[in-house]
Amino acid sequence: MVIRIVPIVFLLFVSAFAFSQPVHWNIRAGWHASTAQIIDKSSSKKTPSNYLNGVSAGIGIKVQFDHQLYFSPRIQYSMHGFEQAATKNDPSQQYRLHYIELPILLQLDFSQKGQGFFTSFGPSVGGAIAGSRKTGNEKQALLFGMTQYNRVNIDALVQFGYGFKNGLSVDASYTYGLTSITNGDELPIIRMAQIGIGLSYRLTGSTAQK
């Protein structure tokens, strides 16, 4: 159900602004390294975790609010993950979760010339489509439910980048999980975080500045 809601909400955003302002489309792909903060609910003990590489790719819009402030949501696929460090009794475990996400961002351009530095910030709502846990050579699918893993994930996202005149732009981003990827009383609290870089391209005929 959540997986269906995310693209529907994105289409509603596009429809709402299409009649009032020109909608400029862009595509973006990125690489990120993600980790997690793992906290045991009963003891409040924190378990170390290591970074795992991931990718994201999606399509977005850019709609002017006022002068250099824009509304710039996008819909994307993103792989999040982390490695739980090994202990004396247990081997390391790798977790990977695949999401359809809707970052709902505001973008501030520092220049009015259609190129230059910019920053984007806002929440991102994701719906998990699959997940796995790998222990040694064994791989097990994650179960989603009220006492298992949380299918809905909400992040806070900030980006800083530079746009070129030819329509390309590069950015660096930081994402922090506002919700735990787990549910129930048995599993620990797990909030993920990411650092990454991305490359975007302004589609033909999009943001010609006047």
CATH classification of the domain holding 73:
2.40.160.20
6 within domain boundaries = yes
Q: Which two three-digit tokens encode residue 189?
A: 């609290």
The DSSP symbol for 207 reads -
208 within domain boundaries = no
95 within domain boundaries = yes
Over range 186-200, report the average pLDDT. 95
The pLDDT of residue 173: 97
Query: Residues 143-153, buried b or exposed e (16+ Cβ, 10 A)?
Result: ebeeeebbbbb
Over range 196-204, report the average pLDDT. 91
- pLDDT tens string 123-135: 999 999 999 999 9
How many domains does one find in the chain? Answer: 1
**pLDDT surpasses 60 at 206:** no
192 within domain boundaries = yes
210 within domain boundaries = no
209 within domain boundaries = no
The pLDDT of residue 12: 60
Total-model pTM: 0.86
Higher pLDDT, 110 or 205: 110
- How far is Cα 149 from Cα 145, in angstroms, rounded to an integer? 6
Show Cβ contacts of residue 136 under 8 Å, excluding neighbours closer than 6 positions: 91
- pLDDT tens string 56-85: 999 998 888 888 899 899 999 999 999 988
63 within domain boundaries = yes
**pLDDT surpasses 60 at 207:** no
Q: pLDDT band for 32, please (50, 70, 90 cuts).
A: very high
The pLDDT of residue 210: 39
160 within domain boundaries = yes
Q: 77: domain range?
A: 2-202
